[in-house]
Amino acid sequence: MTRRSGSCLRSCLLIFAVISALCVSGPALYWRLKKGFNLKSASSVSCAPCVCDCPPPLSLLKLAPGCLFMLGQSFSYRSWTLGNFHLDCGKDDPDLKEEMEKQFVDLLSDELKLQETVGHEHMHHMNITFGDARRVAAQYQKEAEKCNTATETCEQAREQAEALMRQEKKVTLLWERRARQLGWEG
């Protein structure tokens, strides 16, 4: 019995593997057969030349104010080549040219000033937030005290009402007993 169950398990796993492979690669094969095989190589396909009518470059400081400080070196005007692209950085922008020629110390001092400004703004925001939180907490504390006072008042009124009701029951029982003594059959 175990030999038959083992062979059954193997055949089930084989069928599952074949079905899984067909489910994964089936749609791709279907579309490939439907569209037909394209035997052209990818290298023979040529693109039309790119026509770039770009506006003049913006200042690098306006685009990414912190990027010069992260590079950690002094710059001069350079022309970089990336792959097939030729970048003329700062060619026509005097602000960018001036910023690129700053010394490393100037860049670090600017970065420190920026971080100090951001730190002060963050501290100011945290102080405002903390003050608001304290004000809201005090308001909730006052509301809680009002609720506690109202609860105590209600509890005292309930106790007084219970005491009055016990007293009324005693008086009612006394009057009922007197009435029965006088012949009342209620």
Model confidence over 119-136: pLDDT tens digits? Answer: 999 999 999 999 999 999
Number of H helices, E strands in the chain: 5, 2
Task: Give the model's pLDDT for residue 74.
Answer: 41
pLDDT, tens digit, 9 for 90 and up, residues 54-104: 666 656 556 555 544 444 444 444 444 444 444 455 567 777 777 767 677
Asked if pLDDT for residue 41 goes beyond 90, the answer is no
Task: Give the model's pLDDT for residue 69.
Answer: 43
What is the bridge-based pairing of β-strands 79-82 and 85-88?
antiparallel
**Cα separation, 16 vs 10, whole angstroms:** 10
Task: Give the model's pLDDT for residue 112.
Answer: 92
Asked if pLDDT for residue 37 goes beyond 70, the answer is no
Task: Give the model's pLDDT for residue 68.
Answer: 45
pTM attached to this predicted model: 0.34
> Average pLDDT over the chain, rounded to whole?
78
Task: Give the model's pLDDT for residue 54.
Answer: 67
Contact 99, 60 (CB under 8 A): yes
**Cα separation, 106 vs 110, whole angstroms:** 6
Residues 6 or more apart whose Cβ sits within 8 Å of residue 65 = 114
Task: Give the model's pLDDT for residue 157.
Answer: 95
